[in-house]
């Protein structure tokens, strides 16, 4: 069908380098924008055209993806369900109060404040913003901690974007 919207699932493995995605990215930009929706491409396009990626891991700050456990405990994010990120318990404290707490604002702001200088100097920072803090456990070439483990993939992907 001509105008049918489609969903495509790309599963990446270590053996299947990011070039595969980059290769498809070239086709997507030329033929498939608005027709086939791939999150990583759509997020990049959104950042490029509106200045906002629209997905927490790519935004400058975060903190709107809280996670509640079966017993009512509320944590800052579903990537950080740990005691030190517990904001309280929904049986005792209002959800809005916890979501709007200073601790939660600090959690979201820390995504920006902890960004290594290496990322701040990067030409595609506005698209990626260092990625999710959960994955920032390697170091920059100068030894600064807090670099995402996906930095090589991002560099490849960004090169593809800037070449288009
Ligand atoms: S910690 Fe990661 S997954 Fe959670 S809100 Fe922030 S960017 Fe999103």
With a cut of 80, say whether residue 137 has pLDDT above it.
yes
CA torsion angle 76 81 83 88 (round to 10): 40
Q: Ligand 1 in contact with 110 (CB < 6 A)?
A: no
Select the more confidently predicted residue: 160 or 31. Answer: 31
User: Distance (Å, rounded) from C-alpha 44 to C-alpha 124?
Assistant: 10
When pLDDT is cut at 50, 70 and 90, the band that residue 2 belongs to is: very low
pTM of the model: 0.81
- Token pair 């699932």 in the structure block, residue: 9
| Residue 31: count of CB within 10 angstroms of its CB | 9
Q: What is the pLDDT of residue 12?
A: 54
Tokens encoding 161: 């974007």
Is 113 annotated in the active site? no
> Pick the catalytic residue: 27, 32, 78, 113?
78
Taking CA atoms, 60 is separated from 16, 81, 132, 133, in Å, by: 29, 21, 10, 11
Q: Ligand 1 in contact with 131 (CB < 6 A)?
A: no
60: left (phi > 0), else alpha (psi -120 to 50), else beta?
alpha
Q: What is the pLDDT of residue 6?
A: 47
User: Distance (Å, rounded) from C-alpha 46 to C-alpha 111?
Assistant: 20
3 state DSSP class of 81: coil
Question: Going by C-beta distance under 8 Å and a sequence separation of 6 or more, which residues neighbour residue 94?
Answer: none
> Residue 5's Cα: distance from chain center in Å?
24
State in Å: Cα 145 to ligand 1 middle. Answer: 18
Strand partners, 86: 75
Task: Give the pLDDT confidence of 7-55 residue by residue, as tens digits.
Answer: 444 555 555 555 556 566 677 777 888 888 888 888 888 888 888 999 9
Task: Give the pLDDT confidence of 96-128 residue by residue, as tens digits.
Answer: 999 999 999 999 999 999 999 999 998 888 888
Task: Give the pLDDT confidence of 53-103 residue by residue, as tens digits.
Answer: 999 999 999 999 999 999 999 999 999 999 999 999 999 999 999 999 999
Regarding beta strands 138-139 and 145-147, do their DSSP bridges make them parallel or antiparallel, or are they unpaired? antiparallel
Q: Which of 20, 64, 62 is nearest to 40 (CA)?
A: 20
């Amino acid at each position: 069908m001509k105008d049918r919207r489609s969903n495509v699932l790309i599963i990446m493995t270590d053996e299947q380098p990011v070039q595969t995605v980059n290769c498809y990215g070239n086709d997507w930009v030329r033929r498939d924008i608005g027709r086939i929706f791939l999150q990583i491409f759509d997020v990049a396009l959104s950042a490029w055209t509106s200045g906002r990626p629209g997905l927490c891991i790519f935004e400058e700050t975060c903190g709107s993806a809280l996670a509640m456990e079966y017993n009512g405990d509320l944590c800052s994010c579903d990537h950080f369900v740990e005691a030190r990120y517990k904001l309280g318990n929904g049986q005792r404290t209002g959800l809005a109060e916890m979501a709007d707490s200073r601790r939660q604002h600090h959690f979201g702001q820390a995504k920006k404040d902890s960004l290594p200088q290496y990322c701040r100097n990067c030409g595609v920072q506005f698209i990626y913003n260092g990625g999710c803090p959960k994955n920032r456990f390697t170091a920059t070439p100068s030894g600064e901690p807090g670099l995402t483990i996906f930095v090589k993939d991002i560099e490849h992907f960004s090169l593809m974007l800037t070449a288009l």
